[in-house]
Amino acid sequence: MALGDKIASWPVLRQLREGDPLGLGPSVQSPRSRTLKPRIDDAEHVVQSICPYCAVGCGQLVYVKDGDVTHIEGDPASPISRGRLCPKGQASKSYVQSPLREYKVKYRRPYGTTWEELDLDTAMDMIADRIVETRAATWQDETDGGCPANRTLAIGNLGGATLDNEENYLIKKLMTGLGIVQVENQARI
């Protein structure tokens, strides 16, 4: 900064020049304050979403920059929520970016005492193997009473109320195809 500019930016000179003799307003506005703008204005795109917590179904606007969520707030267009959110909905970004969020598969072997790393593909193959094996070993063609059963009672699937309809659809479809009947979710709690 040239010396002249430096002096011109001296608070007292600014106070006098800007009609702010007490130095309470524009004359003390910092460079940051002068150029400040809301970070949502920098978003590359804004996505209309729905809150993941309760079933009120509030609309959310998700602001994204550089592949990351920069902010989440209420979607004013929603006839249900009219742009408002409760503390949980308002904390959605902190949930999505929780310091405790897990990004890697973790594996605990039988009788193991620690988590181990496991490649996602390997884990998927192992889970598929477990299902195929358990199902084959425990299959029931018929009940003890001779009624058709077509099932295994040795595998269960729990959860669904926090998931999308499309996900629930695939779960029920796959489990029914596999003869797994113990498919349950939070509706029981």
Partner 1 sequence: MSSLLQLNTDPDGWGAYGEKQRERVGFFTDTSICIGCKACEVACKEWNLVPEDGLEFTGESYDNTSELSANTWRHVAFVEQQHDGGMRWLMESDVCKHCTHAACLDVCPTGALFRTEYGTVVVQEDVCNGCGYCVPACPFGVLDKRHLPATTDPPPAFLGKKEDGRVWKCTLCYDRLKGGHEPACAKACPTKSIQFGPLDELRERADERLAKLQAGGVRDAQLYGRDPGDGVGGFGAFFLLLDDPEVYGLPPDPVVSTKRLPSMWANMAIAAGAVVAGIAATVLRP
Partner 2 sequence: MQQDLANSDCIVIMGSNFAENHPVGFQWVMEARERGAEIIHIDPRFTRTSAMATKWVGIRAGSDIAFLGGVVNYILQNDLWFDEYVRHYTNAPVIINDGFVDAEELDGLFAGWDPEQGEYEATKWMYEGMEVHGSAGQREQGFKPTKGEASGHGGHGGGLHHGEPPSEDPDLSHPRCVFQILKRHYQRYTPELVAETCGCSVEDFISVCESLVRNSGRERTSAFAYAVGWTQHTVGVQYIRTAAIVQQLLGNIGRPGGGIMALRGHASIQGSTDIPTLYNILPGYIPMPHTEKYGNYKTYVRASSAPTGWWGHMDAYFVSLMKAYFGENATEENDWLFEKLPRIDDDNSAYWTLEQMLEGNVKGYIIAGENPAVGNANGKAHRLALAKLDWLVVRDLVEIESASFWYDSPEIETGELTTEKIPTEVFFMPGAAHTEKDGSFTNTQRLLQWHWQATEPKGDCRSELWFYFHLGRRIKQRLADSKEPRDELVKALRWEYPTHSQIQEPDAEAVLAEVNGFEIATRKFLSSYKELKPDGTTSCGCWIYCGVFADGINQAARKKPHWEQTYVAPEWAWAWPANRRILYNRASADPDGNPWSERKKYVWWNGQKWEGEDVPDFDEEKSPDYTPPDGAEAEDAIAGDHPFIMQADGRSWLFVPQGLEDGPLPTHYEPHESPFDNPLYAQRANPRRQQHTDAGWDPYNPVDGEGGADLYPHVFTTYRLTEHHTAGGMTRSVPYLAELQPAMFCEVSPELAAEEGLEHGGWATIYTTRAAIEARVLVTRRMKPLVVNGRTTHQIGLPYHWGSQLLTRGDSANDLMHAALDPNVHIMETKAATCGIRPGRRPRGKALVDFVAELREQAQSRRAQDPRVEPEKVRKT
Name the residues that contact partner 1, by CB under 8 A: 3-4, 7, 10-13, 15-16, 18-33, 36-41, 71-74, 83-87, 89-91, 93-94
Q: Which is nearer to partner 2, 9 or 68 (CB)?
A: 68
* Of 6-14, 18-26, 30-38, 53-61: span binding partner 2 (CB under 8 A): 53-61
The CA distance from 123 to 158, in Å, is 19
Kind and range of the H or E run holding 165: helix 165-178
Residue 31 or 99 with smaller CB distance to partner 2? 99
Cα 69 from Cα 44, distance rounded (Å): 10
Of residues 113-132, which lie at the interface with partner 2 (CB under 8 A)? 113, 115, 118, 120, 123-132
Stretch that binds partner 2, among 2-10, 12-20, 24-32, 76-84 (CB under 8 A): 76-84
**Does residue 49 belong to the site contacting partner 2 (CB under 8 A)?**
yes
CB atoms within 10 A of CB 161: 11
Query: What is the Cα–Cα distance from 45 to 187, expressed in whole angstroms?
Result: 35
Does 71 engage in binding with partner 2 (CB under 8 A)? Answer: no
The bridge status of strand 180-184 relative to strand 59-65 is unpaired
Closest CA to 95 of 52, 40, 58: 52
Question: At closest approach, how far in Å is the CB of 38 from partner 2?
Answer: 18
Binding mask 143-162 for partner 2 (x = CB under 8 A): x-x-xxxxx-xxxxxxxxxx
One-letter identity of residue 54: C
